[in-house]
Structure 1
Amino acid sequence: MDELLIKEFDIRYINATSRKNLKEHAMIRLIISTLATPEEINNLTRKDVRSLKGVFAVKLKSGRRIRIAPIDPKTYKILIEVSKGGKIFEYSKVEMDSIVRKYSPANRVYDVVSLRNAVIKILRDCQFFEHDYVRDLLNGRNFEEVVKFLNDMHPMFSGVWDLDDDEVAEDFIENYMILIGERDVKRIAEDICESVERVESIVKGISSRIMR
């Protein structure tokens, strides 16, 4: 399988398996959605999560540097749910890396920086323009055009990196069985935080399609 497709699967895997713990899942979604750094994650407060003219965004701070980054609606909702007024995440960088590592595929371990870099690589591959919107996102510039780019090209914003849609979930589970090597429905369901019934139905659909 192509290296970029494997990276994309790994991002989806980390996003899915981290749902076991909502706060840790919120941190991982923040990295994937906004390319947040450890310092930006650590500095995030409830007041930094906002809606601007109908667009969800977060104010990310690193030293004196501030950037406003668009965020997908589901991540916004989860951040609001886990925040309690002050800092949202009381994690050290070591703890953040440990969280990402915990939800990584066993044979391809990520930390905050490598997960962030994987998302950057995929977004740059989706960038069919001369203008570098990924750089704008990282620098907190050109907000309205970055919003358009992310809505069009970022799989987190379109829902492709979540499992709500059955076709999306089927694609993920098929790749899961190939790349993780697990075919037991109960183990898959437990690992990706889905019901056994749903996974069983999806696996049957995959099997019947392959057998045609």
Structure 2
Amino acid sequence: MQGVDLLRLEFDIHHIAVVSRKVPEEHALIRLILSTLATADELQNLVKRDLRLVKRNGLNYYYVKLTSAGKSRISPIDSRTYQVLSEISEDMRGKERIFSYSKEEMDRIVEKHSPSDRKYDVEKLRNAVILILRDCMLFGDEGYIENLIEGVNLDRVTDFLYDFHPIYAGMWDMDDDEVAEDFINTYARLTGISNPRDIAEAIGESVERVERLMKK
């Protein structure tokens, strides 16, 4: 991981997640990449019935079946991503594909929501998340990421993601004021934009909230 600016990488991912909220379908696509490391093929093949809710020990766990080249894997997803996917597919039939984008369109969606000076596509975004997850491991690489991509050792992978994946802790969302404040201040510093109204419009937040957090 030497030579990689992980703080900037984390901001880039957060930026893509936040700005994409303006278009629910695009936000859902991006969240699924972040939450599961989904590939373009897996995104194209996703249908409504692939979303699964499992109740265990009084708790809700969320999963998705991802398929590529005839091979399937089961991956955990965070609750917010499950919610967003459920909302955009609410009126779809069980076998209906959730996303109708071509691979090129998916790449353009990710690029559109990237910071102006750092352009990502689906694969680059996946790789960025992998770097962040490797950095989150406390005891070195124990194969969690490979297990996630291969769809094996599901319970082990689920525990790892719930404990260490930033999206499960809300670190790539804007609900928490401290998280939002840090993102807004970093956004202002990197873009040179200091007007709260301009920032609010760019990231899809209210002017009042941006002003309040910038004054802290």
**TM tier, shorter chain?**
over 0.9
The one-letter code of the counterpart of 2:88 is V
TM-superposed CA distance for 1:128, in Å, is 1.9
Instruction: State the distance in 2 between where 1:48 and 1:180 align.
Output: 39
What stretches of structure 1 of length at least 5 have no aligned partner? 206-212
Shift of 1:180: 2.0
Provide the residue aligned with 1:209 in structure 2. Answer: none
TM-score normalised over the length of structure 1 = 0.94
Name the structure 1 match of 2:111. Answer: 101
* Pairing 1:127-142 to 2, within 5 Å after superposition: 127-130=137-140, 131-142=142-153
Unpaired segments of 5 or more residues in structure 2?
A: none
Task: Identify, as 1 or 2, the structure richer in helix.
Answer: 1
If the length of structure 2 is used for normalisation, what is the TM-score? 0.92
Q: Percent identity?
A: 53
Shift of 1:178: 1.6
> Distance in 2 between the 1:20 and 1:128 partners?
35
Give the match for residue 118 of structure 1.
128
Equivalent residue of 1:67, what SS? Answer: strand
Q: Secondary structure at the match of 2:215?
A: helix
Pairwise CA distance, 1:129: 2.6
AA at the equivalent of 2:174: L
Give the partner amino acid of 2:212.
Answer: S
* C-alpha deviation, 1:27, in angstroms: 0.3
Q: Distance in 2 between matches of 1:75 and 1:116?
A: 16
Give the C-alpha shift of residue 171 in structure 1. Answer: 1.0
Among candidates 182, 187, 209, match of residue 198 of structure 1: 209
- CA-based RMSD: 1.0
Equivalent residue number for residue 74 of structure 1? 80
Match of 1:47 in 2: 49
Give CA deviations for 1:133-162 in whole Å, capped at 9, x if unaligned.
111101101111111111111010011110
Which residue among 133, 157, 161 is the counterpart of 2:168?
A: 157
Q: Structure 2: which amino acid aligns with 1:79?
A: L
What CA distance in whole angstroms lies between the structure 2 residues aligned with 1:57 and 1:193?
Answer: 28
Counterpart CA distance in 2 for 1:121 and 1:128 is 14
